[in-house]
Chain A
Amino acid sequence: MTKKNVTNSIAHLEEHADYLFSYAMLKLKDVALAEDMVQDTLLSAVAAREGFTAQASVRTWLTTILKNRMIDHWRRQGREIAASDLVGDDGSGDSIDDFFDQAGRWFEMPNAYPSPDEALQSKEFWNIFEQCLSRLKSQQAEVFLAREMYGMSNEEIRESFSLGESNVWVLMHRARVSLGKCLDMNWMK
């Protein structure tokens, strides 16, 4: 790789830094620690040049490095449960069928939120929203953040996370239903 390419690659990493940081913040809730994790992640990315050049799924790859860093951190602290939440991702214990009966009807009808602007003015709402986000399964959180906070299209998400079309639909559906349910339970009762 020429020097120019390398510099370009570093610049290219910059667009992922915010994403990695918000992901780490949701799980760690500690600015300094999250910044360290992002720095570690990007440094090991630069160190591993080969992986670095496979641009298609850079974000997936970086997120994997970040997750491993966070798992190591929790293990050092003896927090196996927090670590296992990132390891055994999305396979079990979180299905869309937790929210619907066999006929596909809501177990509990969602609440209406007629005035979003009012919600967004409330400090309590933001605390709950943050908590609800941090409770999402990690792959759902990744895709939800990419879509709703960073405005990536479904197509960009498919590419950067190496997901199929229907995987993205399923993950977004589950994220939205889980978040909605979490708001219903914790915010307006």
Chain B
Amino acid sequence: MLNCKQASALMSRAMDEKLPFGKRMALKLHLFICDGCTNFSSQTFLLRKAARSFGKCRHCKDLRLSDEARQRIFRALKDVQARKD
């Protein structure tokens, strides 16, 4: 039987890639009887959803470069490169 440490590790891995059959079944069985890990599963989905909508979040400081900054930075890069060549 998996313990919660092992089960949560497999659950995290299963978010990112397909688990081998045996591990998938063992995880299912553990989740069937374990509320803590079932809750952890809902946390990982919330975290994923949050991370993916972070860029669109109106309340957040923007975590992506603004277009102005991007253009400024790449102009500077090209200038430096041009001077070197």
The B24-50 residues at the A interface (CB cut-off 8 A) are 35-40, 42-50
A130 to B61, CA, bound (A): 9
A176 to B14, CA, bound (A): 12
A56 CB, nearest partner CB in chain B, Å: 20
**Contact mask B1-42 → A, CB, 8 Å, 1/0?**
001111011001101110000000000000000011111101
Q: Tell whether A38 is near chain B: CB-to-CB under 8 Å.
A: yes
A38 to B76, CA, bound (A): 12
Whether A46 lies near B51 (C-beta < 8 A) is no
Whether B44 lies near A180 (C-beta < 8 A) is yes
Give the one of B13, B47, B61 with max A CB within 10 A.
Answer: B47
Q: How large is the interface on B (under 10, 10 to 19, 20 to 34, 35 or more residues)?
A: 35 or more
A74 CB, nearest partner CB in chain B, Å: 19
Whether B64 lies near A123 (C-beta < 8 A) is no
Give the one of B65, B70, B76 with max A CB within 10 A.
Answer: B65
Whether A46 lies near B77 (C-beta < 8 A) is yes
Which B residues touch A119, using CB under 8 A? 46, 50
B83 CB, nearest partner CB in chain A, Å: 11
Q: Within the complex, which residue of A22, A100, A180 is in contact with B64, where a contact is CB–CB below 8 Å?
A: A22
Q: How large is the interface on A (under 10, 10 to 19, 20 to 34, 35 or more residues)?
A: 35 or more
With A18-B65, A148-B47, A183-B43 as contacts: A169 and B77 at CB distance below 8 Å:
no
Q: Tell whether A86 is near chain B: CB-to-CB under 8 Å.
A: no
With A43-B76, A109-B35 as contacts: A173 and B43 at CB distance below 8 Å:
no
A-B residue pairs, 4 tightest by C-beta: A104-B3, A148-B51, A104-B5, A180-B43
Binding site for A on B (CB under 8 A): 3-6, 8-9, 12-13, 15-17, 35-40, 42-55, 57, 59-65, 69-70, 72-74, 76-78, 80-81, 85
Binding site for B on A (CB under 8 A): 3, 6-7, 10, 13-14, 17-18, 21-22, 25-26, 29, 31, 35, 38-39, 42-43, 46-47, 96, 99-100, 103-106, 109-114, 116, 119-120, 123, 125-127, 129-130, 144-145, 147-149, 151, 153-154, 168-170, 172-173, 176-177, 179-180, 183
Q: What are some 6 contacts across the A-B interface (CB < 8 A)?
A: A43-B76, A110-B43, A112-B39, A120-B57, A172-B15, A183-B43
